[in-house]
């Protein structure tokens, strides 16, 4: 889809009640906005309604501020929260990485080709290894070494960079450090991590070698929001692939890294396209 044909996006959520779809779609119709795509979900477990709408204004003088002011009058009766995203909006994303480069390469490729509507103003790493890759893309690279003793100061620098570069999202593209509870809290709902999802689970050193020794038949990856529970944040996207006895440890590693790259990039796209709603520790993710 060409940029000029990209839609406006309206995200809305509120307590479950009669008329939630109608209040949104009726307003869009009356204000001459053509709905191209609509997804909604009523979460009966928590009595919460979520809705995502893509629309195209029929009037050339569409005014986002006026839209918000007028829609606020309708939404108030439903205790509805909403967000309007412009077609030309690009999310500012900080990438954190250690030495593994496969996820970073995939993100940079989709950024460079314009397939991800993002800006990457900074890459942060606890190792110097990938600085040349960042320089090739013209992106500032900040090498912030970390030890157990220096972790509080290092994370303070990380947070300062996120603020300095005005980043909406932080992506841990195989950043091999556990974030502190404090930094997890600051980045709540706007930091995405990726990790392998070997079935059954294998933790610790060389998980793919452990999996091979047990004859694992599935390899996969999970992308999720970061929280204080290690690798257990709300899930955004998952990928899986069947393997068999002919796959040696290095084959499992290669397949796992490929799935990690695809899954992380997909999760980032879902987030920036406003397809993800957080309901506590669960997510509602509307597909494309």
Active site residues: 231
CA 164 to chain centre: 20
Q: Which residues contact 2 (CB under 8 A, 6 or more apart)?
A: none
| Rounded CA separation 17/19 (Å) | 6
Neighbours of 35 (CB within 10 A): 15
Strand ranges for the chain from DSSP E: 8-15, 33-43, 48-57, 81-85, 91-97, 118-125, 141-143, 169-172, 191-196, 218-225, 235-242, 276-279, 282-285
Instruction: Work out whether strand 91-97 and strand 33-43 pair parallel, antiparallel, or are unpaired.
Output: unpaired
């Amino acid at each position: 889809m060409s940029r000029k044909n990209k839609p406006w996006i309206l995200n809305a959520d509120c307590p479950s009640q009669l008329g939630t779809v109608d209040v949104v779609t009726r307003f869009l119709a009356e204000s001459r906005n053509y709905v191209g795509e609509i997804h909604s979900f009523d979460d009966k477990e928590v009595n919460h309604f979520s809705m995502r709408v893509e629309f195209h204004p029929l009037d050339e003088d569409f005014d986002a501020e006026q839209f918000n002011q007028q829609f606020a009058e309708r939404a108030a009766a439903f205790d509805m929260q909403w967000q309007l995203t412009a077609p030309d909006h690009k999310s500012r994303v900080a990438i954190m990485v250690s030495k593994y480069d496969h996820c970073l390469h995939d993100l940079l490729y989709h950024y460079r080709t314009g397939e991800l509507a993002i800006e990457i103003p900074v890459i942060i790493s606890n190792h110097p290894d990938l600085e040349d890759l960042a320089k090739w893309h013209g992106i500032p690279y900040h090498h912030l070494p970390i030890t157990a003793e220096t972790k509080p100061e290092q994370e303070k620098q990380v947070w300062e960079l996120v603020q300095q570069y005005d980043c909406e999202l932080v992506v841990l593209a195989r950043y091999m450090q556990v974030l502190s509870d404090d930094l997890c809290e600051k980045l709540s709902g706007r930091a995405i991590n990726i990790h392998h999802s070997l079935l059954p689970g294998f933790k610790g050193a060389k998980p793919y070698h452990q999996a091979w020794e047990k004859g694992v038949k599935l390899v996969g990856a999970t992308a999720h929001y970061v929280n204080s529970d290690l690798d257990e944040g709300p899930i955004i996207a998952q990928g899986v692939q069947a393997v068999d006895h002919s796959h040696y440890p290095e084959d499992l590693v290669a397949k796992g890294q490929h799935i990690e790259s695809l899954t992380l990039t997909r999760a980032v796209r879902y987030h920036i396209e406003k397809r993800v709603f957080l309901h506590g520790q669960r997510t509602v993710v509307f597909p494309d």
